Amino acid sequence: MKIILLGPPGAGKGTQAKLISNEFSIPHISTGDIFRANISEKTELGMKAKGYMDKGLLVPDELTIDIVKDRIAKDDCKNGFLLDGFPRTVHQAEALDEFLVNRKEKIDCALLIDVPREKIFNRMTGRRICTKCGASYHIKYNPTKVEGKCDLCGSPVVQRKDDSEETVKERLDVYDRQTEPLVVYYKNEAVLKSVDGTQDINKVFEDIRNVLGEI
């Protein structure tokens, strides 16, 4: 089964990706992991990507596409894969489809973990992390017993820069701009499925399993 995982930052894609990967015995492929692996192994593609990243530049579409194609051509993807973080644009989606068609393969499901923007915003901006032991909290859903202090070690808990209101808003704006056209694209390809990501983790996975089981 070849699956693309879609959903806003903070929707729980990472958690669900691990569960799907284990359930269906397919590799979970995140673009971040592929880039890091290629750079670590000093592959030709990895070194090209590193050149852009070292300058603080985005890796161009075509190079990203080549790195993903190289990864899904490996033996462990013969029975399927779960792509997380790719494609990010319709151009990337079209390139992926073309690559798969040439291999007489296709995407079976573009799975959208759907969470309203307001809920994502509250989830992410409410997160707090311990400065010493790294324990994570949430001001609403999992608050510390003593305000501002870690339950485990007593050190201060802080909001990461990535979880500031301004940063979260920008990340969600970027996601909306990039992903809405992708949702339309996969809907037109008749492979888009959606689950309610506001539910408990186990209920979300149960819904995902039901959706994928019907394919």
Return the active site residues: 13, 88, 127, 160, 171
Alpha helices in 75-141 (DSSP H): 90-102, 117-125
Query: Is there a contact between 69 and 101 (Cβ–Cβ < 8 Å)?
Result: no
Cα(100)–Cα(152) distance, integer angstroms: 49
Which residues pair with residue 111 across a beta bridge?
5, 193
CA distances from 28 to 17, 49, 72, 132 (A): 6, 21, 11, 30
- Joined together, the tokens standing for residue 35 give 């880039």
Long-range CB contacts (within 8 A, 24+) of 127-131: 127/159, 127/160, 127/163, 128/157, 128/158, 128/159, 129/157, 129/158, 129/159, 129/160, 130/155, 130/156, 130/157, 131/155, 131/156, 131/157, 131/158
Contact between 9 and 172 under an 8 Å Cβ cutoff? The reply is yes
